[in-house]
Each structure stands twice: as C-alpha cells, then as structure tokens.
Structure 1
C-alpha cells in the first residue's frame, strides 16, 4: 500500500511463532504441541516455502523457529527474509 507520506507493508496476521508456541506448550505440558502427522505437514509447508524462495533467487539466512509464523488455520509462514 502506498500513500503520499510513504509505503506501507501489510501482512497477514499470524498468531504465533513456532519457537514461542513450542516453548510455552512444552513448559506447560512437557511435550510438543504437534502430533507426528502435524510435524510432517508443517515440514512439507516449510519445504514448499523454501523451494519457492529459491525459485525467486531469495536465500533466507536466518531460518529458525522464531522466524516461522503459525496461524489459526495451521498454516506456516516464513518471516524475516
């Protein structure tokens, strides 16, 4: 979005980053918040996202759980690239 005073970036809201989600859930329950099938689904989403970035000649140099955003629909988003 652009206005006379500048350019504004508007992003879809994601409720959590994976680092906080995993740490908070593990502290409360002593285990991961994800079942193995969910880990597989999230891994495939991450690989698809990285493949797309690579196809656009973009290299993410700081890939970590806190840069993976997780929304209310269970969709993963790569941030800070």
Structure 2
C-alpha cells in the first residue's frame, strides 16, 4: 500500500471520528436543553398537543416527564408525540 493511501485513509478515519464526536456533543446539548425546558414547566402542566411539543423540539414525551398527556399518546404505550 502506498504512503498516500495510508495517509488518506488515516485522514478519513480522523474525519469520521471527529464527526461522531460532534454528533455526540450535539446530542448531549439537545438532551440537556430538553431537560432544562421540561424542568421549567409548572407542576401538572400538559402541552395542548403534539404540534407544540414538536415545535419546541421536545418530542417524544414520556409518561414520567412534565408536559405529558395521555391525550397525545395515541397507542397508550407511555410515549406521546412519537414518530410512527
């Protein structure tokens, strides 16, 4: 294998790993942001519907989370506003 192919493959692997790290960090940021928004909801608050939940980027909502309502859980599995 030529040195150019080895270096090229190493660069490609480095780019893939860097992309994975960025994606992971974004996921952590989204998770933290989501938790922060949900923690600010008043006790007993229920979103008016899934459109609002999705607009805020909080979907899906789980039955143990603030803002959840059985009205938004079409199949009754404890997960509201899920994508089918």
TM normalised by structure 2 equals: 0.31
Bigger RCO of structures 1 and 2 (CA < 8 A, at least 6 apart): 1
Larger radius of gyration: 2
TM normalised by structure 1 equals: 0.32
Higher strand residue share: 1
